[in-house]
Amino acid sequence: MGQVFWKFLLAFWGALILAGTLVWAVNEVSRSADDEPKPVWIGPQLRLVLGSAQLMMDSGGIKLLGDVLQRWEEDPMSRDKILLLNNLGEDYLQRDVPGDWAQLLKDQPEYKVQDNEGRSWFLLAVPRHEFLLDWLRSGRGLMATSSVPAQRIDVQHLQAARPHGPSPGEAVQPFGPTGFGDKAPPPEMRGMAVRATMAMPPVWFHPAFLLAAILVTSLSVSLWLAWYFASPVRQLKRALQSLASDHWLTQLGPKVTGRRDEFGAVARSFNDMAKSVEQAISGQRRLLHDVSHEFRSPLARLQILVGLARQTPSESAMVLDKVEAETQKLNALVEEILTYSRLESGAAAVKLQQVDLLELLESVAEDGRLEALSQQKQLLVKADAKVRVLADPDLLYRALENLIRNAIKFTPANTVVTVELQQQAQQVHICISDQGAGVAHDDLAKLFTPFFRGQSKQDGVGLGLSIAKRAVESCGGSLTLQNCYAASGIVCGFQAVISLPLK
């Protein structure tokens, strides 16, 4: 488990402890300074029994009240017992009485009853310390019971036996296993099955179980939450370590990228970044390979020419001319590579200024027309009005020159290459169209790849379109390439579109 897991787990439990502390603090602050902790909380059920004591005394005498109080104490769910005290502090059921019973009576609301003889009895609620022990001894939550269901006791028939409680000096026996001390049940109850003790409540009713359930549930939820948040972090950590080990194709699985939270967004961003890095590394390696290949051919020809010059000194003049031509090709190749590298890395010094597009197009077209006429082709420039854009004139000139020369190269003889200047909203488009055979659909996406020559397998080095694209982007525009289609769906030409913003 990582540090994030434990931080989430400890933060969750820290929040629980803080919440409990705040509740306790608010309770302590809101309580009056004169309030003393009460040994017994007078709840609704206990208040009902205490409030009904006089009614039970009037109905069945002190015997009925004593039976009710004894049954209350035997109830496993009762957390307290009710003492029935006389003026001397003696309990009617002869149970232990706290030494400070008089003070306890003052701390509780007064519950006083009178029997038929006019004697006063006081009801005092005290904690029942055997409550937890009874529950722990209960085994599966039930005390031993008789096999026969308990019968309801008619207390009205019991009043004749002892209408006014114990006589003076008579010891009152506490209820035993049958509820009548060591004595046998009265004649009225013989033959009736009496429950020895009341059934213990189910274990899930006990406060200790409820507390344990809350703690276990909180622990389970906190563990799940910590794992839920820490798991994607661990996977991302492993992926980053793999990426640092030159495994550029590392990708996070759909289990993480499919999440709809911030972790899923980070995972998807990581996959995109890894793909970009892999493409950049692959492009770098491919570029190095292509550059080596492009240098190999002219260098091999130079070696052949040097060998020829040594064998036939009489042809040295012709050999030197060819060496010069190959050297110029190498120089042009190096210049192309350096230009592409500067534009790709952003190291090229871009000088943006206001440029008259129509004037720039005419300047490029002037040289293009001479090249087109030599091949029995035409170059036509269409422009509605002068348009000025913010661009680098040298870079834009180079891009236009490359695209127009490509169009002249691939358009058939006796056809026209059209350069059209269009203004739409906040953009201006320069459309360069030829009437050639177009480009294969699979090759369209590769035209901007360095050293990819497509149909032209011999001429050029395959960097012209790549340089044109970077040059246009340096001026804040975009370059798109597409085939032109006739109404019948047949390719009837090729078009390059330069889009520049109007500023």
pLDDT of the chain, 503 residues: tens digit per residue: 556 677 777 887 888 888 888 888 887 777 655 555 555 556 676 778 778 888 888 888 888 888 888 888 887 667 778 888 888 888 888 888 888 888 888 877 778 888 888 888 888 888 776 555 555 555 444 333 333 333 333 434 433 334 444 444 444 444 444 444 444 444 444 433 333 444 555 666 666 777 788 888 888 888 887 788 778 888 888 888 887 777 777 888 888 888 887 878 888 888 888 888 887 787 777 777 777 777 777 788 888 888 888 888 877 788 888 888 888 878 877 887 888 777 776 767 788 899 998 899 999 988 889 889 999 999 999 987 788 899 989 889 989 998 999 899 889 999 999 999 988 888 999 999 999 888 888 888 888 877 776 665 556 667 788 888 988 988 889 999 999 998 888 888 999 999 999 87
278: left (phi over 0), alpha (psi -120 to 50) or beta: alpha
pTM over 0.75? The answer is: no
- Helix, strand and coil content of the chain, in percent to the nearest 5, comes to 50, 15, 35
Residue 483, token pair as written in the block: 């085939």
- The C-alpha atoms of residue 354 and residue 341 are separated, in whole angstroms, by 26
The pairing of beta strand 120-127 with beta strand 80-85: antiparallel
Strand 427-434's sheet: what is its strand order? Answer: 378-383, 416-424, 427-434, 491-501, 478-485
Res 253: pLDDT: 80
- The C-alpha atoms of residue 50 and residue 143 are separated, in whole angstroms, by 27
Closest CA to 65 of 167, 158, 183: 158
Res 303: pLDDT: 85
* DSSP letter assigned to residue 260: S
Q: Is the dihedral of CA 298, 303, 305, 306 positive or negative?
A: positive
H and E: helices and strands count for the chain: 13, 10
- The C-alpha atoms of residue 191 and residue 203 are separated, in whole angstroms, by 33
- The C-alpha atoms of residue 165 and residue 332 are separated, in whole angstroms, by 126
Residue that is written with structure tokens 């509780």 in the block: 108
Res 415: pLDDT: 93
The pairing of beta strand 120-127 with beta strand 112-114: antiparallel
Q: How far is CA 81 from CA 88, 127, 303, in A?
A: 19, 6, 115
- The C-alpha atoms of residue 485 and residue 493 are separated, in whole angstroms, by 7
Res 241: pLDDT: 83
Neighbours of 310 (CB within 10 A): 10
Count of alpha carbons within 13 angstroms of residue 227, beta-carbon side: 6
Task: Count Cβ neighbours within 10 Å for each residue of 182-191 and write b for 16 or more, e otherwise.
Answer: eeeeeeebee
Task: Count Cβ neighbours within 10 Å for each residue of 285-308 and write b for 16 or more, e otherwise.
Answer: eebeebbeebeeebeebeeebeee
- Is 316 in contact with 309 (CB distance < 8 Å)? yes
Count of alpha carbons within 13 angstroms of residue 57, beta-carbon side: 21
Please report, as a single letter, which amino acid is at residue 358. Answer: L
- The C-alpha atoms of residue 185 and residue 192 are separated, in whole angstroms, by 9
